[in-house]
Chain A
Amino acid sequence: MDKRTTHFGYQDVPVEEKASRVADVFHSVATRYDVMNDLMSFGIHRLWKRLTIERAGVRPGHSVLDIAGGTGDLALKFSRLVGPSGKVVLADINASMLGMGRDKLLDHGAGGNVEYVQANAECLPFPDNTFDCITIAFGLRNVTDKDSALASMARILKPGGRLLVLEFSKPDNALLTKAYDEYSFRVLPRVGELVAGDADSYRYLAESIRMHPDQDTLKAMMESAGLERVEYTNLTGGIVALHRGIKL
């Protein structure tokens, strides 16, 4: 009997293998993750994340879950916004990334209202209706079963809660697409090799972006997961899109 397969970049791999291969990528780049993000995006990722925080509508007392939270860029600001009466959970499937995030948050004085959970986005270990806001920034494309992950997020959102998905997407301009392809497949792996000593991980990054659903497909997937009023904003010409849905 044929094994079920999924994509890992441009390769087809057995479903049960993808998570461990993605984990290997992030174990490899964890220590240089922030530097590489700044280098690859020319610092623009900070603005994309900032806009995500603005659209999250988080306020004191809220419970926020940051899935695939990586090195804690979003969680750090959320921890200030929710205050001591609120709670931020930084979740990541990868222990290396979670460790980096925890160290960074502690270094910045965020501690009392932040919890750390190593969890798979497809089966989040939280009760129904737990969080006022859930964010996943540059993480969904690495998830094996995106529909299960979105359904799991919708389940643990409180009624009225918001899910924000910040992810690479499809540029809306042919010229930009060409320039972006050249940059992703020629420049990124070389920068990755020079800075992080790992060209393959950054080749995977470029490939995984191309395999990720486009703006409208992801919007439909979020609606299928039970979210309503789903809308998206293209950022930097559609290189990145911010999707927002509400659980009613």
Chain B
Amino acid sequence: MALTPTLLLAGFETTLNALLSRDPAAPSRLRALAGSRVLLHLETPPLALALHYHPQGVDLLLIDEIEEDAFDAIVELSAETLGALASGAEMERLMFEGRLAVRGKVHLLEATRDLLLDLDLNWEAELARWLGDLPAHQLAEGLRGLSRWGLRTHQELCADVSEYVFEEARWLPGRHQLEALRESLTELDVATDRLEARLARLTRLLTAEQASP
């Protein structure tokens, strides 16, 4: 069991470095990051992962004793926030919402995210090495067509479901209705505060009149 996380991490590291070695933009980015150490500290599940950059890629190490001064940047986040970061959520927004805490050199986290999310792999060329130019191109065209179809179907499905839920069945209020309701509630909230203040003033006046001879 002691080796399971090590095995998973080793597999991830090998895959990641293999992908980076195929990205033409990665060498210059890695050169800029080489020697930097970033600590990813996940709260749930509890995990401390060190990313150590070198010119050929990144070493990933599980850390059992954290010495913060050994790292250039320390990132504290939850697994959910990590997922949001990986799917392209804005770092500033996550930090503002208190879901992401970064100490040290913040730009290292940005550079890490750019390195991983901007991976530009020429996978058709890799396929061509194994299958030959023509079959690789046909397979790639097929996969691209499938991907476009999947994306279009996903968008259409979302639009259809949204239309049914908001417009036809009216199970949920639409965005504009929600905005109008929120504005009304805000007005009600302000009016209630105002009324409460008036009542408090009247109570004070009545109390003062009763107290005077």
Contact = CB atoms under 8 A, between A and B. Distances in A.
Interface string A54-93: 1101011000000000000000010011011000000000
B203 interface: no
Interface stretch (A5-13, A43-51, A116-124): A43-51
A80 B52 CA distance: 8
A81 B52 contact: yes
Contacts, number: 44
B3 A54 contact: no
A54 B70 contact: no
Interface string B30-57: 0000010100000000000000101110
B76 interface: no
B59 A80 contact: yes
Given A77-B59, A80-B54, A60 B35 contact: yes
Contact of A57 (B35, B55, B65): B65
Nearest to B63: A54
A186 B59 CA distance: 38
B102 interface: no
Interface in A20-51: 44, 46-48, 50-51
B54 A236 contact: no
A111 interface: no
B20 to A, nearest CB: 15
Contacts of B70: 59-60
Interface residues on B, range: 10 to 19
Contacts of B67: 57, 59
A224 interface: no
A53 interface: yes
B10 A46 contact: yes
Interface string A189-228: 0000000000000000000000000000000000000000
Contact of A55 (B55, B56, B59, B64): B64
B109 interface: no
Given A59-B67, A80-B52, A47 B62 contact: no
A53 B35 contact: no
B61 interface: yes
Contact of B6 (A54, A59, A77, A109): A54
13 contacts: A46-B10, A47-B10, A51-B2, A54-B6, A54-B61, A60-B35, A77-B59, A80-B54, A81-B52, A84-B35, A109-B56, A235-B2, A236-B3
Interface of B: 2-3, 6-7, 10, 35, 37, 52, 54-56, 59, 61-65, 67, 70
Closest 9 CB pairs of A and B: A59-B70, A80-B54, A47-B3, A54-B61, A47-B6, A51-B6, A54-B62, A83-B35, A50-B6
